[in-house]
A = this chain, B = another copy of it.
Amino acid sequence: MTLSQRTIGVVTGGGDCPGLNAAIRAIVHAGKRQHGWKVIGVPDSFSGLIWPEKCRELTFESTRGILPLGGTILGTTNSKDPFAFPVVEAGRTSVCDYSQRCIEGIRQLGIEALIVIGGNGTLAIAERFARCGVNIVAIPKTIDNDLQCTDVTLGFDSALHIATEAVDRLHSTAESHHRVMIVEMMGRDAGWIALYAGTAGGADVILIPEIPFKIESVCAAIRRREALGRTFTVIAIAEGARMPERDAAGSPLPKAAPGQAAQTLMHAIRERLQKEVRVTVLGHLQRGGTPSPADRILAARFGAAAVDLVQRDGYGQMVALRGTKIEAVPIAAAIDPVRLVDLENDVLQTARAIGINFGDES
């Protein structure tokens, strides 16, 4: 135990994912065992700081048994930015800047440093607090895997498990019924889950926002499979997949409504190929359940590294996985812009090499 006991706070923000509880547990264990710190859990993202009386100390007892549990014992929200907090009064919603109330809450609770576990949205708020003088250390968390400066984010490997298992399952039905099965995965801007789970699950076609797809190209891939006696096709599609905005001649093309790519594709394939087609939307299933071993270990490493960074007063930084090492990078550098799948990405190149179609052939 050190002489100078510190008090730190922990915030989980944005969509929940497997591994948050493992990270919270690691922070509590590393903070208390190594340094004798007091660790305070902030409920429901930053909004818990507005009402400091709702914050509770995190102890060995209160974090017992949470390692394998999905979700976050702290609660979270992705709709309550303290800099633009939605307030409902007399049936009308207005927006208030509650950031000073948060900072006041931090002061009242005696919190010297805040470890914030979140994705783009949450870390943008964290960075804004950092600029207001709050001592922040960040842990990158999002199943979308779209933060800069880290090889991977917490939650991605677990989401990959669920999505890959879904692709495996849909193969049975696709093959038995000679159908085209389209499985829509999360990823509005970045196609990481669809790329990885599609590759892992042996999808025949993968459609991601980074590579606009042509319906004719997808249909051609299905036809080539039929010619080889493969009467079924499995397509992994990110929710943000889209078609080119202009044709080769530069003329504008009709657009699918945002998030409607899977439906648009289903109808188009049915019409052009007279095949049975079905869409499955994984949705929130991708967020739930026990974290994978890799995510549990990453959570432990990120949690212990964040405690270490606080101990060294390394504020304004985010822990990040780089190769086999945990490093510290500026939060601002990690969150903007969203990290997209690079067209030179090795997994993307591999997927092409083993014959997966990205709907972009002419």
**Distance, CA A33 to CA B353, complexed state (A):** 8
A354 pairs with B297, CB closer than 8 A: no
- Chain B residues closer than 8 Å to A29, beta-carbon distance: 353-355
**Chain A 59-106 interface residues, beta-carbon cutoff 8 Å to B:** 60, 67-72, 75-79, 88
Stretch at the interface among A48-56, A120-128, A288-296: A288-296
Stretch at the interface among A165-173, A206-214, A253-261: A165-173
Which residues of B are found within 8 Å of A25, using beta-carbon distances?
Answer: 354
A273 interfacial contact with B, CB 8 Å: no
In the complex, residue of chain B having the shortest beta-carbon distance to the beta carbon of A202: B67
What residues of B have a CB within 8 angstroms of the CB of A283 in the complex? 278-281
How distant is A31 from chain B, measured CB to nearest CB, in Å?
Answer: 10
Determine whether the beta carbon of A79 is less than 8 Å from that of B33: no
Contact A176 B16 (CB under 8 A): yes
A287 in the interface, Cβ–Cβ < 8 Å? Answer: yes
- DSSP majority for the A interface? helix
Shortest CB–CB separation between residue A299 and chain B, in angstroms?
Answer: 9
B296 x A172 contact (CB < 8 A): no
Q: How many residues of A contact B (CB 8 A)?
A: 89
The answer for the CA separation of A29 and B12 in the assembled complex, in Å, is: 32
- Is B34 a contact partner of A353 (Cβ separation < 8 A)? yes
Q: Which residues of B contact A290 (CB under 8 A)?
A: 168
- Can you tell how many copies of this chain the complex includes? 4
* Residue in contact with A71 in the complex, picked from B165, B175, B349, B351, CB distance below 8 Å: B175
Q: Quick check: is A336 within 8 A (CB to CB) of the other chain? A: no
Which of A253-307 touch B at CB < 8 Å? 274, 276, 278-281, 283-285, 287-290, 292-294, 296-297, 300-301, 303-305, 307
Tell me whether B88 and A173 are in contact (CB under 8 A): no
| A307 interface neighbour in B79, B292, B353, Cβ under 8 Å | B353
In the assembled complex, the Cα of A25 lies from the Cα of B349 at a distance in Å of: 16
Given contacts A26-B354, A162-B169, A322-B323, 13 further A-B pairs with CB under 8 A are: A30-B353, A68-B168, A70-B169, A71-B172, A72-B176, A78-B177, A164-B296, A168-B290, A169-B288, A200-B296, A300-B351, A303-B354, A304-B349
Rank and list the top 10 A-B pairs by shortest CB-CB distance, nearest first: A169-B288, A70-B172, A71-B172, A323-B323, A71-B176, A16-B176, A200-B293, A29-B354, A200-B296, A304-B353
Q: List 18 A-B contacts (CB under 8 A).
A: A26-B354, A29-B353, A68-B168, A71-B173, A151-B323, A168-B288, A170-B285, A173-B288, A196-B293, A200-B296, A279-B283, A280-B283, A292-B292, A297-B347, A304-B349, A304-B353, A308-B353, A324-B346
